Chains A and B, each alone.
Chain A
Amino acid sequence: MAYPANFRYTKEHEWIDVQGDTGTIGITDYAQHELGDVVFVELPKIGTKLTAGKPLGTVESVKAVSEIYSPATGEVTAINDTLADSPEKINTDPHAAAWLVKVKLANPADVSSLMDAAAYQSYVDAKDKEAHA
Chain B
Amino acid sequence: MRYLPKSPSERQEMLSAIGVRSAEELFASIPAQFRLKELLELPGPLSEAEIIGFFTKRGAENSIGYTSFLGAGVYNHLRSVVTDAIIQRGEFLTSYTPYQAEISQGTLQAIFEFQTLMCQLTGQEVANASMYDGSTALTEAVLMADRITGKRRVVMSRAVHPEYRQVLATYAKNLDIEVVEVGYTASGQMDLEALRGLVHDDTSCVVTQSPNFFGVIEPVAEITEIAHKLEALSVVAITEAVSLGAVKPPAEADIVAMEGQSFGLAPSYGGPFVGVIATRDKFVRQIPGRLAGQTVDGAGRRGFCLTLATREQHIRREKATSNICTNQALCALAATVHLCLLGKEGLKEMAAQNVAKARFAADLLTKVPGVKLAFSGPVFNEFVIELPRSVKIVNASLRREKIIGPLAIGNWYSELSKRGLVCVTETTSRAEIEKFAAALGRALAEPL
Contacts and interface: CB of A to CB of B under 8 A. Distances in A.
Interface of A: 40, 42, 45, 60, 63-65, 67
Contacts, number: 14
Contact of B311 (A45, A63, A65): A65
Given A40-B285, A42-B285, A60-B285, A65 B150 contact: no
A64 B315 contact: yes
Which range contains the number of B residues in contact with the other chain? under 10
12 contacts: A40-B285, A42-B285, A45-B150, A60-B285, A60-B310, A63-B310, A64-B310, A64-B315, A65-B311, A65-B315, A65-B316, A67-B319
A64 B308 CA distance: 10
A6 to B, nearest CB: 33
Contacts of A45: 150
Interface in B295-316: 310-311, 315-316
Contacts of A65: 310-311, 315-316, 319
Chain B binding surface SS class: helix
B364 to A, nearest CB: 56
Contacts of A64: 310, 315
Nearest to A44: B150
Contacts of B319: 65, 67
A38 to B, nearest CB: 12
Point out which of A60, A63, A65 has the most chain B C-beta atoms below 10 A from its C-beta: A65
A66 to B, nearest CB: 9
Interface in B319-350: 319
A113 to B, nearest CB: 27
A64 B316 CA distance: 8
A69 B316 CA distance: 16
A4 to B, nearest CB: 30
A22 B10 CA distance: 64
Nearest to B286: A42
- Across the A-B interface, the 3 shortest Cβ-Cβ residue pairs: A65-B310, A64-B310, A65-B316
Contacts of B316: 65
A60 B319 CA distance: 13
Interface in B129-158: 150
B358 to A, nearest CB: 46
A40 B150 CA distance: 19
Contacts of B311: 65
A59 B35 CA distance: 49
A69 to B, nearest CB: 13
Nearest to B150: A45
A45 B316 CA distance: 23
Given A45-B150, A60-B310, 12 more contacts: A40-B285, A42-B285, A60-B285, A63-B310, A64-B310, A64-B315, A65-B310, A65-B311, A65-B315, A65-B316, A65-B319, A67-B319
